[in-house]
Amino acid sequence: VSLKRNPQTLTRWIIESQREHAPNATGDLSVLLTSIQLACKAISNDCNKAGIYNLYGTTNLQNASNDQVKKLDLLSNDTMINSLSFTGQVALMASEENEESIKVDPSFRGRYCCVFDPLDGSSNIDANVSVGTIFGVYRCLDDSKDPTDADLLQKGTNLIAAGYCMYGAATMMILSLGFGVCGFTLDNTMGEFVLTHPSIKIPAKGKPIYSVNEGNSANWNAAITEYVRRCHNPKEGETPRSLRYIGSMVADVHRTLLYGGIFLYPADKKNPNGKLRLVYEGNPMAFLIEQAGGRAITGTERILDIQPKLIHERIPIVLGTKSMVDEVEQLYKELL
């Protein structure tokens, strides 16, 4: 009853968080985050109506990462760009769907930069599998000058906000401003995200779940091969680990956040640098995982410490419950 009569909406949470953690803030970031949640509401509606309005299927295009572009990819990308461009808070953007960075008209230019994957997991959208939007926010390096790609190519440690919105049975926004992770569920009757997960922490001893595409196993390095072998054949007295792989990073990471476990998208012979993108997938997700008490590495180094060189740079990713990620890291040291 109290939730219905006095809901803590995402907008209210942002305002209250500003009062508590940054009482002298201008409110500019609050405006930006409000625009992101508006874009995510629109994308959620498009995903829900995709079958009705013939939004399933692919275009004849490939994006900057050489992935086949779906109709909803383009629509989601346009929604994010349009929503952020007119906030007056954003100077520059980077999207999976755009080869080059996206500059905002000087008359609307602000002091923040946004990076995003507008519809992660879209290869699954035609099967009505959960997909999502991943985003990260940086402060421009020098907001007195015209923005450059250097503003987008900051280490993940410089993120001031990151999150994702998952479009599934319910639409959920997972967000961190650098002081923990909170989850909000879209209440369609109000049209508002409502706080439902006030403090998300990855269980220190999470469920024995590992998430990886085992179809690539013939191309794995020795460390990943050995780790998955241990998942299949645990030590005496230990429970075998369960494989759960959706193929949508947002959905797989969401489960990992709530249940614990480990998500792996390692480098392999086909993709020696990994396949997921550092700037708008790896860094925002690593930020969330660490804020929730987990770890996120490439196998050999902390993801948030990597200096990006390219907007669409790829990296290997291993993230989740700290003890499980530690085990993978140790295997890299021993076997490679």
Angstrom CA distances, 102 to 31, 76, 166, 309, stand at: 19, 15, 24, 17
Among 151, 268, 281, 290, the one annotated catalytic: 281
Active site residue 146: no
Active site residue 100: no
Kindly report the backbone phi and psi dihedral angles of residue 77, in degrees, each rounded to the nearest multiple of 5, phi listed first.
-65, -45
Among 29, 75, 119, 175, the one annotated catalytic: 119
> Given the structure tokens 């780790």, which residue do they identify?
227
Q: Which amino acid is at 325?
A: V
Strands 68-70 and 58-62: antiparallel
Active site residue 301: no
Burial readout 135-145 (b: 16 or more C-beta within 10 A, e: otherwise): bbbbbbeeeee
Provide the β-strand partners of residue 183: 174, 197
Among 67, 78, 126, 149, the one annotated catalytic: 67
Among 32, 33, 72, 117, the one annotated catalytic: 117
Active site residue 281: yes
Active site residue 16: no
Angstrom CA distances, 291 to 104, 265, 296, stand at: 30, 20, 11
Distance between CA atoms of residues 37 and 87, nearest Å: 12
Among 46, 120, 268, 329, the one annotated catalytic: 120
Among 46, 96, 192, 268, the one annotated catalytic: 96
Distance between CA atoms of residues 301 and 105, nearest Å: 37
Active site residue 97: yes
Active site residue 67: yes
Active site residue 305: no
119 within 8 A of 250, measured Cβ to Cβ:
no
Let me know how long the chain is.
336
Burial readout 7-41 (b: 16 or more C-beta within 10 A, e: otherwise): bbbbeebbeebbeeebeeeeebbbbbbbbbbebbb
Return the active site residues.
67, 73, 96-97, 117, 119-120, 281
